[in-house]
Every structure is written in C-alpha cells, then in structure tokens.
Chain A
Amino acid sequence: MTSHAIRIALDGVVKLLSQNLYGEPDAFLREMIQNAHDSITKRRGIDDGGGRIDIAPDRARATIAIHDDGIGLSEEEIHAHVSTIGRSGTGELRETLRAGDPARAASLIGQFGIGLLSAFLVADRVTIVTRRLGEDAAWRWEFDGGTQYELAPTERAAVGTTVTLHLKPSMHEFMSVERLEGLVRRYADFLPVEIRVAGAASPTNAMAAPWDHEAASDDTLRRFFARRFPKERALTHVALRGEVLGEPLRGVLAITDRTIELGQGRIDLYVRRMFVSGHQPGLRPPWATFVQGVVACDALAPTASRDRVVHDAALAEVSRLIGQAIFEHLRAIAARDPATLAGALRWHSHAILALCAEHEELFRDLADLMPLKSTLGARTIAELVRENPDGPRLAYYCHGPSAQQVLPLCSARGMPVLDLAEPYAERFVLAYASAWPERLQPFRIDEAGAGGLLARVPAAEAMRLRPVLRAAEALARRERVELAAFDPPGVAAVRLETRRGRGARELRAAVEHLGTPSFLSAALADVGGAGADSAILYLNAASPLLVALARRNRLAKEPDRTVLGVLLDRARDADVDAEERARAFEDLSRALEWALSTPEEEPDVER
C-alpha cells in the first residue's frame, strides 16, 4: 500500500466554500468584526493602544471598508494566515495563551481560519492594507477568490488593518448605514470594542451585556429586553444565572403578551460575546416555546459557520438550566404576583399545561390559577365549579372528536362546559380531580350515554318517529342509532363516541405507533377496528325536520332518503374519514340538485 496527498482544484473553491458554508450573506460582517476584534485583543496584550472598529460604506466606489486599530499583520503573517485557508492565527495564539493568560485566550473569538471566506458572500474582490505593530512597513494584499493573490508594499500611517470589500452588484444593499448598524447590534452588541458605522460620533454597539454588572436589576433587564425586542411587551422576566462546565450562563428571558407560534419565538444565543443564532435547536426544553430573550454562555462550541453551536453535553446542560429557571420563576410569581401569572397563563396555556404535566409541584401551584377554555369564556376550574348550577363540585367537560357536536347543545341549555381540546388540558383537569377529589368531580359530557344533555323520548313520540329511526339505522355506518330529545331543535342529530369507540381509537393509535414491536402489532392486527358500538347517532325527536320526514313517511324514496342522509352526515362531520367525507358531499350535492330542480313558482303579477 502507498499513501498519497489529497489534491484540491483550487480554482473557484474559495467562492464555492463561502457560498455553501454560511446560511446568509449577513454573516460576512460578523466574520470581519470578529477578525478585527481579535486583532485589537492581540494588541491589548502588548501595549495600551487599540480598541476601535470603523465600518465605512462608500457608495461611489461600491465598497465597504472595515478599519481596526489592532495589532496589524506582518508579511509573514499575511502568507501564513490570511492566505492559508483553514489556518487560524487566532486559534494558534489561543493555544499559546491558554496556560499563561487564560482570560485573554478566552476573549479571542476566531477559531478555524476560514472567516475571510465569508467576504466572498458579498464581494468579488477583497483588499487588505495593514501595518504590524512595531514595524514601519505596510502591506497591500488583494485577492479575487481565484488561485493567486497579490501582495505589495504600501504606505500606512497608523498601525492596524483595513479590509475593503468590493461589493458584487447584487449586494449593494449592504452599503445602507441603517442595515450595517442593525447587523452590528445583532452580531456584536456585547463586544467590548467601539464599533462605529459611517463615522458616527458614538459607538453603534452597547459594548457590554446587562449581566456584566453583578448588580443588574430587574429594571435593567426589562429595559434591555425592550430595546432588544422592540415589538414585544414583556409580562415578566426570567433572569438566568448559572454555570456550565465552569463557564457562566447568563441571560434574560421574557414571557410576552402574545401567543407565540411553534418555532417563532427567538432566543438570541451569544458565545464569546458574538451572536450565533436566534433559533438554536436544542437550546431550550421542547415545552419552553413561550419565552424569548437572550442567552450567553462560553461553554458552547460554535460550528465552523458560527451560525449554530454543536449539540453536546454543554448545550444539554444549558437547556436544562433554562427549563429550571422558567419553572422556578413561574412558581415564584404564582406565590407573589398572581395577576402577572394569570396574564402569562392566558397567552401561553398550551405550553404551560405541558409543563404542568411534567412537574407536579408546578401543577399544584398553578392548579387554581390556570384558565381553561369553556362555554363561558376562559375560566379556572374553581371559577367554573362555582358557576355550575348543577352541583358544587361538578364540572362538565368535553375532549374527544364528539366535542364539537355537544358544545352547541350545552350552550343552548346554558350549561358551563370546559372544552378540553387543547393538548394536556384533559390531563390537567383529571389530575386536579385526583389530587383534590373533595373540590372537583369532572363529568365528561361528549361520550355516548353520559347523560345530562339528552332526554328520553316519550313512547308515543318515539312511535311517531319510528320510520325515521328505521331509515337512519339502514344508513348507519359503524354506529348505533337511538332517539333522544335535546336542544336546540335545529340540530337534527348528534353522533357521540362511546367509551368502547374511544378505546378502539386509542388502540389503533398504539398499534400504528412506530415504537410498537412487531410481535405486538401482529397480535393486534385484527382488533381495534371501529365496531358498530363505537358511536351512537342520536336523532333529535325535537327536530321539526325529522318530525316532518316521519310524517311524510316516504323515507325509502328520494329525496327524503337523501335529506335524512345529509342530516346524519352533518352529525358525523367531526369524526369521519376521507371516504365518508366524500360520500357526505355526494349526499349534499344530490339534496341541493333536488332543491334546484323543484319547479319555480310563477311570480305574482300585479294586475
């Protein structure tokens, strides 16, 4: 066996790498600022100079120049680091400093020696003019992303470096001062060097995080969040203070006054004071979707593109600590500020119900404060029980696919009912009843045979409706048909799932679950089907339409048969598969065709 060196066709590879490494063109400014910052940090270890970055867009030349008064580069460093992809001068320096000056090592950001590639996200040519501290000679380096770069002596009065990006025509938008200021605040707000854009009198970045001061008050955090998330209104703030692998974990999270859609809530993550991502996967527990804010922790390891951090034990620990901080904060405000908590619960009930399902202590703290959806509006369990005229402990609730069927019936009777369609809501109510049976007796009202809503039909009336009952039985699909009387009369039929039907539904879900071993799936292959007793279709004896159909007694013929079919389809609407839905449309279409085919009456003609 012989070994050989891998060869790389360099022509075009720089541009290719830059396009594929970074998720968005904005990243160029982060990388340029980061290089400038590291250069300044290196100089601070030698003399007292350095500490400013200037970003200068030039519309006439279509360039952006990034000046720093850092240590600059020697000719040798230009060849060794700037012109060698994957070799990081900063990374090497960090290793050197790690033992002797760990604080300065930690403050360096660069890692992989590929940051300059990002320039080609927006530019087709890059020029660097630099003068190393302690040297008189200055150098001009120029590169267009090909296989050759040019280096020549030049003049430069001050120590430092200027990187000039010659923008591609499609990237001229980056010359906007407002855009550049926004990017500086986003990526480098906490960086302890002044960054000015277009010669501004004061720095664009804050240069410090609020938690840099030990005594950062709640008010400071509140102001910081408001500045950072100007469109949001925070109800309460969670201050993060912890430690991960010996590094501090800091930040501020807020619970805001609006529902946050899944994946929309932003937590800006900072590592070594540089922004990494607003949507870092795994940064928070899956239930903590309702908080937004800023988190900083140097124990996290950015990937090469620096727009994510690596999934490792440190990230898992940060996520755990964030979850714990939210959990403890909710418990604390439950005790000292119930009004604020009520606001938070109102906007984020889904996520907090999930949290209660996992944490019994929190569930107990929030049990009487959690508003749930009901026919009276949002109500806590205690409020709803108080308002139920039928009993001091009684709370009606509905949960399953039949819920939408019974809610109009409950409203018609003025019954207060909890609508527990939201995930975890039923579990919350049942857990409440388990924990405090003396306070709550939940009564599920959307299950067949549950009683309360449906009245028995007197025998004589039942006799009159017998033709409709028989015709409905002939049209029944996986359901039993019964007569009942209920309000409002406009609802001709409701279909309620039975306990058996619910069991069969859950069993089917268990069988279809990917984690179910094959020997179990095989055993259950023929069970769990929806049998005839999976639901009951109740015909409303109070419905004028059904009474009229019974009186006509022509249900074996059209159009009466189809009219009855359409009414039954409406009752099944919440609980049908695609095939049945298609059939329901066919029924409805036939009924409408029949209605349209009825001869029009002659209009009255005035004589």
Chain B
Amino acid sequence: MSSDELLWRAKALLSEGRFAEAVAVVAPVAARAREGDDIVFAIAATLTESQALDLTGDVELALARATWAISAAHAPEHRERLSAKENAWNTTMTFLLFANAAADHEGMALEPVLRVLDEAERFLERIGKPEWRCGVQSERAALYMRFHRYDEAVLNDRAALEGKRNNPSAPGHSATSIERGLAHALTHSGRLDEATEVLQDMLSRPLKPIDALAVHTSLGQNALKRGDGALAARSADEAREIARGMSAGQRMAAAGLAVDAYLAVDRVDDARAAAEEVARCAEELGSAHAHFAARQDGFAVALRLGDRARAAELLDEMEGWAEKLDARSGTSTRMDAVRERRARLLA
C-alpha cells in the first residue's frame, strides 16, 4: 500500500474504534512524512496519529505529535502554504487536537490551553474563516468541563452547537458530539430538565454506537440525580451492552454508571461485577483519574456489602489519588469526597 492508502486505512480503523491498530498503521507513515518534503501530507498523517494515540490513552505522545504539527504550521517556511484555503482545515485541526489531548492530561493547567485556543481563533480570523470557530468553542467547553467550570462549558457548547449547525463542514467535533457535551455540562451544573430534553431529543434520531453510549450514560447519571433508580439502571444496562468490545475508557464510563445505578435498585451482585470491570479498565488506562474513580466505585460496593475492612483499604488508596489530583488541579473536590466517605464509614 502507498502512504496515501495507509493513511486512509488508519482513518478507517479509527472510525471502527480500532485505535491501537490505527496507531500501528499510521505511526510509520507519519514519521516518514515528517522527514520528507510534503508538509501538507505530513500534517495530515501526524493529525491522524495524534488522534489515534489520544484514543489509546497515549496522551503525552498525542500531545507531542500535535505540538509538532502546530509548530510546523507556524514555521515561516510553511506558514503561507498551510494557511491556504485547501490546507486550512487540517491546520485548524492541529489546534483542536492539541486542546483535545491536553484536556485528557491530568497535569495540564487550564489557562495556558485556553491561550492555545485563543491562538487558534486568531488563526481563523487571519485566514478569513471566523465561522469555523465552533470547533474552538467546543474544545473550550470540554476544557471548562474538565476543570468543573460547568456554566462556562454550557455557554461554549451552546455557541458551538449553533455554529456547527450553520457550518456542518467546519473542523472539530460533530454536532452530535457537541450535543453530548452540552447535556453533560447541563447535568453537572444541575440543570437536569434541560439536560434530559437535549438527551431525549438525541435518542429520537439514529445515533452511532459511540454516541448512543454517551447518551445512555448521561441519561442514567441524570436519572440518578433525580432519584429515578429504575431509569438509571435501564440506561446502565443499555450503556454496558453498547460498550461491550469498545475501549477501556468507554467500558469504564458504562460500568461506572452501572455501579451507582445497580446499587440504587439493590442489584448488589451486578454492582460488584460492574465495580470489578471499572477496576480492570482503570488498570488498563493507568491514569490517576481512572484509579480514583475505580476506588470510589469499589468503596461504594464494599460498604453496601458490609465489608468495612475492604472499604477502608479502598478509601486509603482513594485518598492517595485524591491528593495527587487535587494538587494538580488546585481544588479540594476529591479530598472532600474522601472525607465525606470516611464519615460514612465511621457512622
């Protein structure tokens, strides 16, 4: 296969959710392209590689590739060519993918990444494509979400959704993906009715499995917050079924919902199985967020089962991860969660 064909093959693997295979196919093509003369192809191949790496959990490497791509687009010798109309889509994507990967990196601070997105907006102004800013807005929303600034996330997602509907070919997330983000942000900001409205509207249309998974997960979380355990459990069943065979991150999202939902309707054995699935996924992912969430779910199940010793052990581990995560984000939310559970354990 030629380099072009291999790049298309990697993109196809990516859309099928076969992320590790996509990396294996595209990495040597991109590495070769970065040494060659065709900067446009090199950017395209590196973007696909960065995206695939991010989806396999290789966030640092994904960031390294996105950094190369943005730097190449900024180099004086390429700047004019990569700003040209036919290449601007990919150049815009270099910024968006950087922010996307950065949002997944636990050590990343908010403000500097927002400044990268400001730079992206300046680039769009410069090339006369301000209508493409919806991609930037949705990445900004994802960043605000990551830092628990939900109202700002809602504002950016709403603006992004409107922009995307008017410019469906603009670089960045699909309208469905932005809607998912909006529902998520609404749920977290306590605007449950608005969130349910967005999610029900999405379910009334045909969705890709990955979108359907996200919608059911969000509906389930929403239902839990409203005290509707039965709906939450149904949503969890749907989500776990869809996530079967998907990546660890997606399986973990479904199983994480299932732990809370099953406990809410007293399906304790199912909840324990779901917690074990969360723990396996966390090992696979290896991030501090995943480890923290796995201990949190394990604690809930152990407490319900009356295994206080196991619950205490998990709480100690959870505290270790909470300290690290709070130190990185400059918040106390995880430690607050630990303290709340410790009080329950002692009660």
User: Are A434 and B61 interface neighbours, CB within 8 A?
Assistant: no
Q: Tell me how far the C-beta of B21 lies from the nearest C-beta in chain A, rounded to whole angstroms.
A: 9
Q: Is B209 an interface residue (CB 8 A)?
A: no
User: Are A427 and B70 interface neighbours, CB within 8 A?
Assistant: no
Q: Is B67 an interface residue (CB 8 A)?
A: yes
Chain A contact residue count (CB 8 A cutoff): 35
Closest chain B residue to A435 by CB distance? B1
Closest chain A residue to B112 by CB distance? A523
User: Are B108 and A527 interface neighbours, CB within 8 A?
Assistant: yes
User: Are B60 and A507 interface neighbours, CB within 8 A?
Assistant: yes
Known A430-B28, A431-B32; contact A523-B74, beta-carbon cutoff 8 A: no
Q: Is A522 an interface residue (CB 8 A)?
A: yes
B95-126 interface mask toward A, CB cutoff 8 Å, 1 = contact, 0 = none? 00010001001011100110110010000000
Q: Which residues of B lie under 8 Å from residue A434 when comparing CB positions?
A: 1, 6, 24-25, 28-29
From the candidates A360, A513, A527, name the one contacting B60 in the complex (CB within 8 A): A527
**A523-542 interface with B by 8 A CB criterion:** 523-529, 533
From the candidates B64, B70, B119, B286, name the one contacting A509 in the complex (CB within 8 A): B64
Q: Is B84 an interface residue (CB 8 A)?
A: no
Q: Is B305 an interface residue (CB 8 A)?
A: no
Q: Tell me how far the C-beta of B110 lies from the nearest C-beta in chain A, rounded to whole angstroms.
A: 10
User: Are A507 and B61 interface neighbours, CB within 8 A?
Assistant: yes
Q: Considering the chains assembled together, what is the distance between the CA atoms of A213 and B307 in angstroms?
A: 95
Binds B, one of A56-64, A385-393, A411-419, A496-504: A496-504
User: Are B286 and A523 interface neighbours, CB within 8 A?
Assistant: no
Q: Is A517 an interface residue (CB 8 A)?
A: yes
Known A511-B67, A523-B108, A527-B60; contact A360-B3, beta-carbon cutoff 8 A: yes
Q: Which residues of B lie under 8 Å from residue A499 when comparing CB positions?
A: 58, 61
Known A427-B32, A516-B71, A533-B286; contact A506-B61, beta-carbon cutoff 8 A: yes
Known A526-B107, A529-B107; contact A358-B67, beta-carbon cutoff 8 A: no
B28-61 interface mask toward A, CB cutoff 8 Å, 1 = contact, 0 = none? 1101100110000000000000000100001111
From the candidates B2, B24, B27, B60, name the one contacting A503 in the complex (CB within 8 A): B60
Q: Is B63 an interface residue (CB 8 A)?
A: yes
Q: Considering the chains assembled together, what is the distance between the CA atoms of A97 and B138 in angstroms?
A: 72
User: Are A527 and B105 interface neighbours, CB within 8 A?
Assistant: yes
Known A357-B32, A430-B28, A434-B29; contact A520-B71, beta-carbon cutoff 8 A: yes
Q: Is A599 an interface residue (CB 8 A)?
A: no
Closest chain B residue to A505 by CB distance? B60
- List 16 additional contacts besides A357-B35, A515-B71, A519-B119; criterion CB under 8 Å: A360-B2, A360-B32, A430-B31, A431-B29, A431-B32, A434-B29, A435-B1, A500-B58, A503-B58, A506-B61, A510-B64, A519-B116, A520-B71, A522-B112, A527-B108, A529-B107
Residues of A within 8 A of B (CB): 354, 357-358, 360, 427, 430-431, 433-435, 499-500, 502-504, 506-507, 509-511, 513, 515-517, 519-520, 522-529, 533
A-B contact pairs, 14 of them (CB 8 A): A360-B32, A427-B28, A430-B31, A431-B29, A431-B32, A434-B29, A503-B58, A507-B67, A515-B74, A517-B70, A520-B70, A522-B112, A523-B112, A527-B63
| A-B interface, 10 closest residue pairs, ranked by CB to CB distance from nearest | A503-B60, A523-B112, A503-B61, A430-B28, A431-B28, A510-B67, A510-B64, A507-B64, A506-B64, A527-B107
